[in-house]
Amino acid sequence: MMDGMGGGVVYTQTNEPTNAVIAFRRDGHGALDRIGTFATGGAGDAKPHLTSQGSVTLTRDGRHLLVTNVASDDVSLFSVGEDGSLELRQKVAAGSAPKSVAEHHGLVYVLNTGKPGLTGYRLTGDRLEPLPGSEGSLPSADADPAQVGFTRDGATLIVTQRGTDSVARYDIGSAGELGMPRVVASAGPTPYGFAITGGGTLVVTEAFRAQKGAAAASSYRIDGGDVRLVTSSVGNGRSEICWVVITPDDRFAFTTNFADGAVSRYAIGADGSLSLEDATAGLAVDGRPGLRDEALSADGRSLYAIDADGGRIYGWTIGADGSLTTIGSWEGLPATVAGIAVA
């Protein structure tokens, strides 16, 4: 599959009743050209602003794409061709209303939100096989979860829980099974998306339940069995931070502000501390809502985000100092668009 300066691919799902993935080819300068649309075989809920992060996920080796189908309670598995095209390999039952999926070296966990819980699988060849003993409930029926994700070493699984303003941590056993959840209170209300550095710093966005100008992000350290707060609720003066990504060198976190079209840049210290550097490092349309899921290219040189209300994908190149330079925007997305993965 294409990568590096030769380009790559961008995927997003329509979340329509007949759900599909829209694929774009990415050239060496980051510009996008639509490849085509690939049916998932499942159903989206046809509602704008799917409350999730990670509904479209590339496996770490770039060979497969995982997509949640929230209305048909299943997950689609695609193989990725050399040209970025997709072939549907399987559709497997998950739990109720799956909205986020994570993968690490063939271990896959799906976050279900109707009845909050987790379901595990092993990716072998082009098949997902249910993992015995991997199904687990979340600590609270009121969790209202948003995202599931692995630490980079695969030893820990993290789930953000908006309904209980908390973060749940699970140890992963030798066979991929889940340990008992350990829960830490979120530093700020409405913890939503998160990303994790290679050294174990967890950056979590806080939407502050749509209080204008109150959106923030906090950082934690994952040490042994503990999740320890490092920096509490660093605001950016914008509104409704919901999604976050971290650059491969672990220096910067970029957050999208759903309510006002801005991408903010935070600096991550060696000790896991978090500081705001630029509240408007990148802009879609300033003051217009709709900027949502975001993803980085594998080389860390490009950032892409979907604007559901504008029906577009926006792209920026990332400078050595973390500065963002606009590449362009590409139209043709439905208002129900959700999730993004980039290679």
- pTM reported for the whole predicted model: 0.96
pLDDT at residue 3 in the model: 46
Q: In whole numbers, what is the pLDDT of the chain averaged over residues?
A: 94
pLDDT value for 209: 64
Predicted pLDDT of residue 220: 98
- Report residue 6: phi and psi, to 5°: -75, -10
Q: What are the C-alpha distances in Å from 341 to residues 39, 59, 64, 117, 237?
A: 16, 10, 11, 23, 28
CA separation for the pair 305, 319 (Å, rounded): 17
Tens-digit pLDDT profile for residues 111-161: 999 999 999 999 999 999 999 888 888 999 999 999 999 999 999 999 999
Q: On the CB side of 143, how many CA atoms lie within 13 Å of its CA?
A: 25
Residues of the chain with pLDDT under 50: 2-5
What does the CA dihedral 268, 274, 277, 280 come to, rounded to 10 degrees?
100
Residue 28 CB contacts under 8 Å (≥ 6 apart), including other chains: 5, 6, 7
Q: Which pLDDT score is estimated for 54?
A: 96
What domains can you pick out in the chain, each with its CATH number?
4-342 (2.130.10.10)
* pLDDT at residue 210, as a whole number: 54
Q: How many residues does the chain have?
A: 343
| Phi–psi pair at 5, nearest 5 degrees | -70, -15
DSSP 165-195: TEEEEEEB-TTS-B---EEEE-SSSSEEEEE
SS3 of residue 163 by DSSP: coil
Rounded CA separation 96/115 (Å): 6
